[in-house]
A and B are shown apart, each in its own frame.
Chain A
């Protein structure tokens, strides 16, 4: 079936630097994308979302970019902090699939002090 995948399984970043997490998706019918953060022993936490009629959306310290031409999604975290250490998942929705989220395999972000 269609899957959302990630290029990098693990990302090590120095505290204070910016982080970029990438995600490739294959379902061209997907029209809504979400980034979740999952800390050890916890459920996924909503970070930011973007609809397919947008290219960029900004939140607090986070920015999501969507390139529909190459089916690519990225999450940028500014001034990465130790609390940002977690596994990050991108997920997508296809309008025809209702409220079902399709997740990728995740990227682990390790913040070095």
Chain B
């Protein structure tokens, strides 16, 4: 079974649209993250939730809104999509121990 699963795997949408990416982990981890990987492969943290509470909120446009209905799920909603939002978005989870980051397979978002 997949430990961290993201849907959809690919997302192509037009500028100005609103879209959501879903993430679920079945590892029993307390903390979940969203990372953005740009075209140059650079991985940058966007948000971190611990047990449904927002812990880390990097400098991300407020068009991006994470939502954690429970500690096994962390969704990412993006309003008014822009061309620059095109990237691969990775969900990850961990226990309080920092050596247990597990990443999902990513969602490739293309804004046209």
Do these two chains really belong together in a complex? Answer: no
* A positions within 8 Å CB-CB of B: none
Instruction: Show the binding face of B for A, using Cβ within 8 Å.
Output: none
